[in-house]
């Protein structure tokens, strides 16, 4: 780890000011940033610790949406009575991210800002058509995730909360990478206000929507409806753990399982 | 009031004494030692698999905060230091010695693998040393790499070492080819199989570390290091590398957090910190991070083999022919050459009567981390080959796989049994371990479990391996004739203190095995001293006589035997003292568990009476017996020991994802006499975890340029608790006939017996797909490929 300045602001406004320095970095749970610092892959001038900012905490129901503060840890989401009641698939997803230590530190804001192709939450955010509330604006899920480790966030822009409309049905299934246990291929299916959305994570450089499956499920919400749909392997990830073809195949399998889980 | 002392001797599951400090975080590992004025070393490592070093420019490090110096390979060469030595010389078929190219401590002409040290930066803190290392500019002329066995063997492949033609370290063989050819000519059936034994990265929990110290007033060097055998390190480093007399070099291996073989070898970093401490007159410490461990700890396995088994019409084995390429990596690690030869090919008879065996092994240099012994070392490779071959032979000859094994087993009354590949097994009962395991695993009831799984959409399979291993490698004279440059005896000192407590000095080293408990139980059993009053000292060349350390499941069979011999000497002397005190003839003195008795009388003396008399010799036959009660014995084994047994794995495959889940694992092992059943169970379970890891999860992958793709836990799949199955471990004992304890060793059986059992189970689960060759690890993607290919083929 290289030396850096450490700040712990108490408000979003103060944090944003500190992040005006383009070489400063925000830190939430540190589950991604700290390993990167330890490996000297990152050399920030300052680390801005968000953990003292009350505006970014808490999980609450607002009308027909669940609003989750960016600093909510995976374990908070997994254990939240509101989330479990309204979007059990999301609580379940959170309960199966990483391991106990990771779930006790890692945050939803950190995870979606990082937009690791193999992360869990991006699929939920896209499939549930959530809105990302930032220090500057509201960003729709479809606009937010732009590519591998890339989001619509500007350098000094912070995720404050994520607002999830409550769906009629939602389900998630994933195949884990045997080594890292991150997502190798995952599918989140949701039906919200009659609209079906299917988001795929892990398989490609960035979370994406599976249009063919959305149409099929829109017509017939059943595992059989997606069971015959083949994901095109072009542009999917391939590595020592599995080829693009294998991941493409897993997308169909996980889609079936996600629909079955959604009920 | 409870004054009944629970039995703590041989056979008692005494809780591990050492766990009181380990579980409370009070162990003292090398990284925990810090010295006044200590400096930190950071090793700059090659990012290339193969490159010529044009220059190393350290100018930018001058004046950096905290930086003391940077040493390069050229600096080391100026001091006329030796290279890292190899401890075993193999001879080629034609009698010439193997190629043994030099292994510089710090590379100075060429780098030969990613991670090869090119310079060491030394500074006040580890971060400052790392900053300095990053400021060093190395000008590399990058060369094409020979990154895999296949690439290194291609005509025109890059030469890892100039002058080593075809990258061939040696071309060795064992057995009689003429006799073999004759046997094959008469065969009813020849079953052939190609096998890959996947390369593994050991990953001990504690990364390696080393702390070198030098006292200019005395000229004494001290090295604390994460080693399984401190005396061997002292010998190799002192005599071969740094030219320091042993009297001036102390090597301490304190608590060590796992080794699995990877901490047997003498590593560059040990020499670097010791030499640097001498140059600078200040202690120098190096601690690896996990990334460095991946690219600098010796790896394991990495064989490519072809095997042919000749059978008659009844399925009786007529002969076995094996051809193996073994990857040595870029340099010869300390014991690398013996692993694919004497620890591998000599095991190819397994538990079967095989009239003739011929094996050829070609060891090959590649631009990868050196490969050496890893838990099991050679024996897992042999076992995997043989036990896979037996399953394929059964399938292809239409004989049940258990029956085929039974037909070929060495019978219980055939011991001692001489194999055609040098070893003579002293004892065993393979039928008994098989029967016990089949019953425990409910082998007979498997088909109904398979049918039930099929209803759930799962493919269920069962597989067994009836393995054999050889451990406690010995005798010294024999291994010497086979090329070992070391003896393989062990030493034990029994120091009975004046008031009857005991300190044991042993040359064995515990890095997770529980020696402090097991060895204390030997003393409790024989001398009647409570375990709590027996202290085991190991891992310090300043305290312990010259011993050989711990590897190859040798500690109890060899080290324990030395202690037994030393205790015999203590008892013999004690009897003479007791005879004097009780005014009896020595011949009339009997000893049992702490009590000396005049035979046929109630006259007794306790051990403490004898020790007091020995150290306070007031009433003592001083002209006939020396004072004191301390004895040392060196024990050189007469033979290897031969644990063996049966492992049965049961798996379920999710055909949609290809994921294999372990559902059950049964082990029945013959490890000889069991001293502490709880510790044996733990050792076997740990070995099985590593075996399942090899079979289903772990593999080291280099790309064509020699970059390590599986270079961290993100890509190298270590087994986790939920990857394992409920493991049932039982023992069935036949005693070793040639050591005083009748013990055989239990440290490696788990890793040796389990991989083929798991793969045989996976192949069984995939029966409908007619799988013949299945290389480890059986990852989901690989299994899905088989299932998918199988389906596609079926559709054609
Ligand atoms: C062993 C291990 C296993 C894991 N397994 C999984 C897994 O299976 N699935 C999975 O999804 N994840 C996994 N993770 C990642 C984990 O979920 C992290 O929590 C997550 O990726 C980052 O969240 P964080 O709060 O730790 O972010 P940090 O590490 O603190 O920050 C990550 C990045 O986001 C930025 N950032 C943080 N907060 C904000 C914010 N509010 N607004 C804008 N930018 C911000 C930071 O500047 C940084 O660049 C794993 C991590 C580890 C260490």
What value does the mean pLDDT take over residues A208-213?
98
Lowest mean pLDDT among A175-189, B244-258, B468-482, B602-616: B468-482
Contacts of residue A54, Cβ cutoff 8 Å, sequence gap at least 6: A10
Which phi and psi (to 5°) does residue A50 adopt? Answer: -85, -5
Distance of CA A72 from the midpoint of ligand 1 (Å): 12
Residue B610 and residue B683 in one domain: no
Q: At what angle do helices B561-581 and B607-615 cross, to 10 degrees?
A: 80
Strand residue runs (E) in B14-78 = 39-45, 51-57, 67-72
Compute the nearest-CA separation of B123 from chain A (Å).
Answer: 15
Instruction: Give the residue carrying structure tokens 């079979």.
Output: B695
| B273 vs B251: CA distance, rounded Å | 12
Distance of CA A47 from the midpoint of ligand 1 (Å): 15
Residue B158 and residue B181 in one domain: yes
Contacts of residue B795, Cβ cutoff 8 Å, sequence gap at least 6: none
Query: Which among B127, B709, B713 is the nearest to A240, CB-wise?
Result: B709
Residue B138 and residue B50 in one domain: yes
Contacts of residue B120, Cβ cutoff 8 Å, sequence gap at least 6: B41, B42, B43, B44, B70, B71, B106, B133, B272, B276
Per-residue burial over B759-774, b = 16 or more CB atoms within 10 Å of its CB, e = otherwise: bbbbbbbbeebebeeb
Please indicate, yes or no, if residue A30 is contained in any of the structural domains.
yes
- List the CATH number of the domain containing B169: 3.30.365.10
| B775 vs B758: CA distance, rounded Å | 12
Decide the pairing of beta strands B317-329 and B357-365: parallel
Please indicate, yes or no, if residue A119 is contained in any of the structural domains.
no
Q: Per-residue confidence at B791, pLDDT binned at 50, 70, 90?
A: low
Residues of B in contact with A243 (CB under 8 A): 781
pLDDT at B754: 98
Q: Which of A199, A182, A164, A144 is nearest to A88 (CA)?
A: A164
Please indicate, yes or no, if residue A84 is contained in any of the structural domains.
no
pLDDT at B6: 81
Please indicate, yes or no, if residue A231 is contained in any of the structural domains.
yes
Query: Which among A1, A241, A253 is the nearest to B781, CB-wise?
Result: A241
Residues of B in contact with A242 (CB under 8 A): 779-781
Residue B538 and residue B582 in one domain: yes
pLDDT tens, position by position, B358-380: 999 999 999 999 999 999 999 99
Residue B290 and residue B303 in one domain: no
pLDDT at A1: 87
Q: Which residues of B touch A (CB under 8 A)?
A: 127, 130, 134, 291, 656-659, 697, 701, 709-710, 713-718, 779-781, 784-785, 788
Output the average pLDDT for chain A. 97
Residues of A in contact with B657 (CB under 8 A): 175, 250, 253
pLDDT tens, position by position, A223-259: 999 999 999 999 999 999 999 999 999 999 999 999 9
Q: Are A262 and A171 spatial neighbours (Cβ–Cβ below 8 Å)? A: yes
Task: Tell me if A250 and B657 make a contact (CB, 8 A cut-off).
Answer: yes
Distance of CA A109 from the midpoint of ligand 1 (Å): 8
Distance of CA B200 from the midpoint of ligand 1 (Å): 30
Please indicate, yes or no, if residue B759 is contained in any of the structural domains.
yes
- B796, pLDDT greater than 60: no
Task: Tell me if B715 and A246 make a contact (CB, 8 A cut-off).
Answer: no
Alpha helices in chain A (DSSP H): 12-18, 33-38, 74-79, 81-86, 88-95, 100-105, 108-114, 121-127, 141-144, 211-219, 223-227, 244-262
Compute the nearest-CA separation of A240 from chain B (Å).
Answer: 8
pLDDT at A75: 98
What value does the mean pLDDT take over residues A196-200?
98
Q: Are B514 and B544 spatial neighbours (Cβ–Cβ below 8 Å)? A: no
pLDDT at B3: 54
Residue B673 and residue B786 in one domain: yes
pLDDT tens, position by position, A78-130: 999 999 999 999 999 999 999 999 999 999 999 999 999 999 999 999 999 99
pLDDT tens, position by position, B312-356: 999 999 999 999 999 999 999 999 999 999 999 999 999 999 999
Task: Tell me if A243 and B784 make a contact (CB, 8 A cut-off).
Answer: no
What value does the mean pLDDT take over residues B461-483?
93
Query: Which among B656, B715, B788 is the nearest to A240, CB-wise?
Result: B715
pLDDT at B517: 98
pTM of the predicted protein model: 0.97
Q: Per-residue confidence at B571, pLDDT binned at 50, 70, 90?
A: very high
Q: For residue B288, what are its two tokens?
A: 């690896």
Decide the pairing of beta strands B502-506 and B534-537: parallel
Structural domain for A174, as ranges: 169-263
Distance of CA B381 from the midpoint of ligand 1 (Å): 41
Query: Which among A2, A239, A253 is the nearest to B656, CB-wise?
Result: A253
Decide the pairing of beta strands B220-225 and B249-252: parallel
- B793, pLDDT greater than 70: no
Residues of A in contact with B779 (CB under 8 A): 178, 241-242
Which phi and psi (to 5°) does residue B668 adopt? Answer: -125, 110
Q: Are B691 and B533 spatial neighbours (Cβ–Cβ below 8 Å)? A: no
pLDDT tens, position by position, B763-773: 999 999 999 99
Answer with the one of B577, B601, B635 that is the final residue of a domain.
Answer: B635
Distance of CA A57 from the midpoint of ligand 1 (Å): 16
Q: Give me the total of CB pairs closer than 8 Å, taking one residue from chain A and one from chain B.
A: 45
Q: Per-residue confidence at B474, pLDDT binned at 50, 70, 90?
A: confident
Distance of CA A213 from the midpoint of ligand 1 (Å): 29
Q: Are A236 and A203 spatial neighbours (Cβ–Cβ below 8 Å)? A: yes
Q: Identify the residue whose C-alpha is closest to ligand 1 atom 45.
A: A110
Please indicate, yes or no, if residue A243 is contained in any of the structural domains.
yes
- List the CATH number of the domain containing B90: 3.90.1170.50
pLDDT tens, position by position, B391-409: 999 999 999 999 999 999 9
Residues of A in contact with B656 (CB under 8 A): 253
Please indicate, yes or no, if residue B234 is contained in any of the structural domains.
yes
Hey, what's the torsion of the CAs at B563, B568, B571, B573, to 10 degrees? -110
- List the CATH number of the domain containing A31: 3.30.43.10
Substitution target from B781, B783, B787, B791 for chain A, most A beta carbons within 10 A = B781
Please indicate, yes or no, if residue A122 is contained in any of the structural domains.
no
Q: Among A31, A57, A123, A180, which residue has the most ligand 1 atoms within 8 Å of its CB, making it the best to mutate?
A: A31
Compute the nearest-CA separation of B42 from chain A (Å).
Answer: 14
Q: Are B279 and B212 spatial neighbours (Cβ–Cβ below 8 Å)? A: no
Compute the nearest-CA separation of B275 from chain A (Å).
Answer: 28
Residue B534 and residue B599 in one domain: yes
- B505, pLDDT greater than 50: yes
Residue B440 and residue B391 in one domain: no
Run of H or E residues at B174? strand B168-175
Position in ligand 1 atom list of the atom nearest CA A134: 42
Please work out, in degrees rounded to the nearest 5, the angle formed at the alpha carbon of residue B233 by the alpha carbons of B230 and B237.
145
Provide the domain count of chain A: 2
Please indicate, yes or no, if residue B68 is contained in any of the structural domains.
yes
List, chain by chain if needed, residues with CB within 6 Å of any ligand 1 atom: A 25-33, 50, 70, 97-98, 102, 105-107, 109-111, 113-114, 116, 119-121, 153, 158-159, 181-182
Please indicate, yes or no, if residue B71 is contained in any of the structural domains.
yes
Provide the domain count of chain B: 4
Compute the nearest-CA separation of A86 from chain B (Å).
Answer: 30
Locate the chain B residue with the closest alpha carbon to A118. Answer: B714
What value does the mean pLDDT take over residues B642-658?
98
Residue B344 and residue B450 in one domain: no
Residue B214 and residue B232 in one domain: yes
Please indicate, yes or no, if residue A110 is contained in any of the structural domains.
no
Query: Which among B715, B784, B785 is the nearest to A179, CB-wise?
Result: B715
Q: Are B527 and B566 spatial neighbours (Cβ–Cβ below 8 Å)? A: no
| B271 vs A16: CA distance, rounded Å | 51
Task: Tell me if A240 and B716 make a contact (CB, 8 A cut-off).
Answer: no
pLDDT tens, position by position, B671-713: 999 999 999 999 999 999 999 999 999 999 999 999 999 999 9
Q: Which of B464, B460, B458, B463 is nearest to B450 (CA)?
A: B460
Please indicate, yes or no, if residue B582 is contained in any of the structural domains.
yes
Structural domain for B249, as ranges: 33-143+202-296
Q: Which residues of A touch B (CB under 8 A)?
A: 1-2, 39-40, 175, 178-180, 239-243, 246, 249-250, 253
Q: Are B263 and B208 spatial neighbours (Cβ–Cβ below 8 Å)? A: yes
| B305 vs B318: CA distance, rounded Å | 20
Instruction: List Cα–Cα distances, A193 to A68, A94, A260, B786, in angstroms.
Output: 20, 23, 19, 42
What value does the mean pLDDT take over residues B210-226?
98
Residue B308 and residue B376 in one domain: yes
Q: For residue B264, what are its two tokens?
A: 């047997």
Please indicate, yes or no, if residue A203 is contained in any of the structural domains.
yes
Answer with the one of B263, B296, B329 that is the final residue of a domain.
Answer: B296
pLDDT at B794: 38
- List the CATH number of the domain containing A251: 3.30.390.50
Residues of B in contact with A1 (CB under 8 A): 127
| B680 vs B749: CA distance, rounded Å | 10
Task: Tell me if A1 and B788 make a contact (CB, 8 A cut-off).
Answer: no
pLDDT at B792: 42
What value does the mean pLDDT take over residues B466-489?
91
Please indicate, yes or no, if residue B417 is contained in any of the structural domains.
no
Residues of B in contact with A40 (CB under 8 A): 130, 134
Q: Which long-range contacts (CB under 8 A, 24 or more apart) does A75-83 make?
A: A75/A103, A75/A104, A77/A108, A78/A103, A83/A59
pLDDT at B4: 63
pLDDT tens, position by position, A42-72: 999 999 999 999 999 999 999 999 999 999 9
Residue B613 and residue B540 in one domain: yes
Residues of B in contact with A250 (CB under 8 A): 657
Please indicate, yes or no, if residue B215 is contained in any of the structural domains.
yes
Distance of CA A12 from the midpoint of ligand 1 (Å): 19
| A171 vs B257: CA distance, rounded Å | 43
pLDDT tens, position by position, B58-80: 999 999 999 999 999 999 999 98
Residues of A in contact with B784 (CB under 8 A): 246, 249
Query: Which among B130, B134, B780 is the nearest to A178, CB-wise?
Result: B780
Position in ligand 1 atom list of the atom nearest CA A109: 41
Locate the chain A residue with the closest alpha carbon to B134. Answer: A40
Q: Identify the residue whose C-alpha is closest to ligand 1 atom 35.
A: A110
Please work out, in degrees rounded to the nearest 5, the angle formed at the alpha carbon of residue B251 by the alpha carbons of B246 and B254.
160
Please indicate, yes or no, if residue B380 is contained in any of the structural domains.
yes
In the structure, how many helices (H) and strands (E) does chain A have? Answer: 12, 14
Compute the nearest-CA separation of B255 from chain A (Å).
Answer: 26
Distance of CA B443 from the midpoint of ligand 1 (Å): 47
Output the average pLDDT for chain B. 96
């Amino acid at each position: 780890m290289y030396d850096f300045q450490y700040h712990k602001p108490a408000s979003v406004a103060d944090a944003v000011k500190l992040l005006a320095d383009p070489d400063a970095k925000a830190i939430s749970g540190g589950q991604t940033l700290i390993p990167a610092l330890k490996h000297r892959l990152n050399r920030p001038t300052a680390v801005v610790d968000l953990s003292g900012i009350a505006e970014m905490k808490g999980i609450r129901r607002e009308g027909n949406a669940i609003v989750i503060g960016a600093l909510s840890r995976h374990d908070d989401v997994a254990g939240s009575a509101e989330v479990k009641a309204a979007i059990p698939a999301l609580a379940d997803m959170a309960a199966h991210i990483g391991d106990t230590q990771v779930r006790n530190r890692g945050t939803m804001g950190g995870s979606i800002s990082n937009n690791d192709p193999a992360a869990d939450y991006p699929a939920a955010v896209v499939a549930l058509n959530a809105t990302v509330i930032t220090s500057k604006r509201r960003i729709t899920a479809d606009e937010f995730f732009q590519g591998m480790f890339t989001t619509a966030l500007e350098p000094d822009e912070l995720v404050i909360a994520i607002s999830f409309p409550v769906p009629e049905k939602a389900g998630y299934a994933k195949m884990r990478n045997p080594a890292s246990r991150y997502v190798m291929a995952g599918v989140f299916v949701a039906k919200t206000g009659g609209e079906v959305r299917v988001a795929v994570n892990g398989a490609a450089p960035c979370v994406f929507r599976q249009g063919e499956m959305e149409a099929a499920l829109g017509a017939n919400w059943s595992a059989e409806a997606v069971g015959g749909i083949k994901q095109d392997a072009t542009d999917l990830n391939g590595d020592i753990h599995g080829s693009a073809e294998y991941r493409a195949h897993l997308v169909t399998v996980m889609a079936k399982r996600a629909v079955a889980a959604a009920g | 009031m409870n004054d009944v002392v629970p039995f703590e001797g041989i056979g008692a599951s005494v809780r591990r004494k050492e766990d009181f400090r380990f579980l409370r975080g009070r162990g003292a590992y090398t990284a925990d030692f810090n010295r006044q004025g200590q400096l930190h070393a950071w090793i700059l490592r090659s990012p290339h698999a193969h490159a010529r070093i044009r220059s190393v420019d350290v100018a930018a490090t001058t004046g950096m905060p905290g930086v003391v110096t940077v040493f390069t390979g050229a600096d080391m060469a100026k001091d006329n230091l030796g290279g890292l030595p190899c401890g075993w010389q193999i001879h080629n078929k034609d009698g010439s010695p193997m190629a043994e190219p030099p292994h510089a401590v710090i590379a100075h002409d060429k780098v030969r693998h990613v991670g090869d040290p090119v310079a060491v930066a030394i500074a006040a803190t580890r971060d400052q040393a790392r900053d300095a290392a990053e400021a060093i500019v190395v000008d590399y002329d990058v060369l094409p790499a020979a990154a895999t066995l296949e690439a290194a063997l291609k005509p025109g492949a890059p030469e890892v070492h100039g002058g080593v033609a075809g990258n061939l370290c040696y071309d060795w063989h064992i057995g009689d080819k003429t006799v073999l050819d004759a046997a094959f000519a008469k065969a009813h059936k020849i079953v052939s199989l190609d096998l890959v034994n996947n390369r593994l990265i050991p990953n001990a929990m504690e990364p390696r570390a080393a702390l070198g110290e030098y006292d200019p007033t005395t000229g004494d060097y001290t090295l604390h290091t994460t080693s399984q055998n401190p005396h061997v390190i002292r010998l190799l480093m002192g005599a071969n590398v740094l030219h320091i007399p042993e009297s001036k070099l102390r090597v301490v291996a304190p608590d060590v957090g796992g080794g699995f073989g990877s901490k047997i070898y003498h590593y560059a970093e040990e020499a670097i910190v010791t030499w640097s401490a001498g140059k600078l007159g200040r202690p120098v410490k190096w601690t690896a991070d996990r990334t460095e461990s991946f690219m600098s700890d010796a790896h394991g396995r990495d064989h490519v083999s072809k095997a042919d088994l000749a059978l008659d019409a009844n399925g009786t084995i007529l002969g076995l022919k094996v051809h193996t390429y073994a990857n040595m990596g870029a340099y010869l690690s300390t014991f690398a050459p013996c692993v694919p030869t004497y620890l591998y090919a000599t095991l190819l008879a397994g538990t079967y009567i095989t009239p003739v065996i011929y094996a050829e092994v070609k060891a090959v240099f590649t631009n990868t981390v050196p490969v050496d012994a890893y838990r099991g070392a050679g024996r897992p490779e042999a076992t995997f080959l043989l036990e896979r071959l037996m399953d394929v032979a059964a399938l292809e000859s239409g004989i049940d796989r258990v029956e085929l094994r039974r037909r070929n087993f060495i019978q219980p009354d055939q011991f001692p049994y001489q194999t055609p590949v040098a070893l003579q097994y002293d004892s065993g009962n393979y039928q008994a371990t098989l029967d016990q395991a089949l019953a425990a695993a409910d082998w007979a009831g498997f088909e109904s479990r398979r049918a039930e799984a099929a209803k759930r959409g799962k493919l269920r399979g069962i597989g067994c391996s009836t393995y054999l291993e050889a451990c406690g490698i010995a005798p010294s004279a024999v291994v010497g004739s086979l090329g070992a440059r070391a003896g393989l005896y062990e030493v034990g000192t029994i120091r009975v203190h004046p008031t009857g407590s005991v300190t044991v000095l042993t040359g064995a080293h515990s890095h997770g095995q529980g020696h402090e408990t097991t060895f204390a139980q030997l003393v409790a059993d024989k001398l009647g001293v409570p375990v709590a009053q027996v202290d085991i000292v190991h891992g310090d060349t300043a305290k312990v006589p010259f011993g050989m350390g711990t590897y190859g499941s040798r500690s109890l069979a060899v080290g324990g035997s030395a202690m037994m011999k030393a205790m015999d000497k203590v008892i013999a002397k004690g009897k003479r003292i007791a005879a004097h005190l009780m005014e009896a003839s020595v011949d009339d003195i009997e000893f049992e568990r702490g009590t000396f008795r005049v035979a046929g009388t109630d006259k007794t003396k306790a051990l403490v009476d004898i020790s007091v008399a020995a150290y306070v010799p007031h009433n003592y036959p001083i002209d006939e017996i020396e004072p004191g009660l301390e004895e040392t014995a060196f024990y050189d084994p007469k033979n290897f020991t031969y644990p063996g047994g049966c492992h049965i794995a049961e798996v379920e495959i999710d055909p949609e994802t290809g994921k294999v889940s372990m559902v059950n694992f049964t082990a029945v092992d013959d490890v000889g006499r069991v001293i502490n059943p709880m510790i044996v169970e733990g050792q076997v379970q740990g070995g099985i975890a590593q075996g399942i890891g090899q079979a289903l999860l772990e593999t080291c992958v280099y790309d064509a340029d020699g970059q390590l793709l599986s270079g961290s836990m993100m890509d190298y799949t270590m087994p986790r608790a939920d990857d394992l199955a409920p493991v049932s471990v039982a023992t069935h004992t036949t005693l070793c006939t040639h050591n005083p304890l009748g013990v055989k060793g239990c440290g490696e059986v788990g890793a040796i017996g389990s991989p083929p059992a798991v793969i045989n189970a996976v192949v069984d689960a995939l029966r409908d797909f007619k799988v013949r060759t299945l290389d480890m690890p059986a990852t989901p993607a690989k299994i899905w490929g088989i299932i998918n290919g199988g389906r596609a083929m079926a559709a054609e």
